[in-house]
Amino acid sequence: YRSTATVGSLSEESGVIGQAWNVERYFIRGQAPAPWNLTMPADGGVAMHAVDAGGVHDAARAFEWRGPGAAELAITAEPMDLTRQTNGDLVLQIDYRVDTPPAAPVQLAMQCTPSCAGSALDASEVLRAATPGEWRALKVKLSCFRDAGVDMGHISSPFTLRSSGGFALSILAVQLSTDPAGAVCLPRDPLGRMAP
């Protein structure tokens, strides 16, 4: 308090990049927020277009697997550690609408660095049982992915959906949720590991 020194203006920039800490929101209102990216096959095996949802214009995206031949939709980034979220019993919540039921098995997976890929889960029955045109939420416990062999400490894709047959699915959001109500553990895919 006795000092007579004058201090210049200090920067208000924290130096922390908020997007680097986004480990829970993967796809919101038709966009993959940073640092996440939406990836689709370059050969057009999955097509995308905007659709309305919840009374909001272009709030979601519709994806069409054209088949035949395996095609994959994924949300990716540099590997992140989801161990704390898994231990905290968080769930992966997917807000979706089936537009055309799947004609072939559908794999749902989380992927990590190449040396730790785990088994995929089988989402076929859940998607086939959904009423076409009806929005709903699928909640899958993170522990289910861990128990299927995924290393939750090195997640490079928190959401990967793969099928070799035609079907169409609209997605409004993919994110982690602390609400476990209605959460399920999907069965492991009978085909085993997610193909690289």
- Residue 194: is its pLDDT beyond 90? no
- Residue 27: is its pLDDT beyond 60? yes
CA-CA-CA-CA torsion sign (178, 181, 182, 187): positive
pLDDT band at 195 (very low <50, low <70, confident <90, very high): very low
Question: 34-69 pLDDT, tens per residue?
Answer: 999 999 999 889 999 999 998 899 999 999 999 888
**Integer angstrom CA distances of residue 4 from 1, 7, 84:** 8, 10, 48
> How crowded is residue 182: how many other Cβ atoms within 10 Å of its Cβ?
11
- Residue 19: is its pLDDT beyond 60? no
pLDDT band at 21 (very low <50, low <70, confident <90, very high): confident
Please, which residues have CB within 8 angstroms of residue 156's CB and are 6 or more apart in sequence?
Answer: 76, 77, 78, 79, 80, 111, 112, 113
User: Residue 11 has what pLDDT?
Assistant: 60
Torsion of Cα atoms, 125 then 131 then 137 then 143, to 10°: -10
- Residue 141: is its pLDDT beyond 70? yes
Distance CA 60, CA 171 (A): 6
Q: Which residue has the tokens 């919840």?
A: 54
User: Residue 15 has what pLDDT?
Assistant: 47
pTM of the model: 0.85
Distance CA 39, CA 186 (A): 24
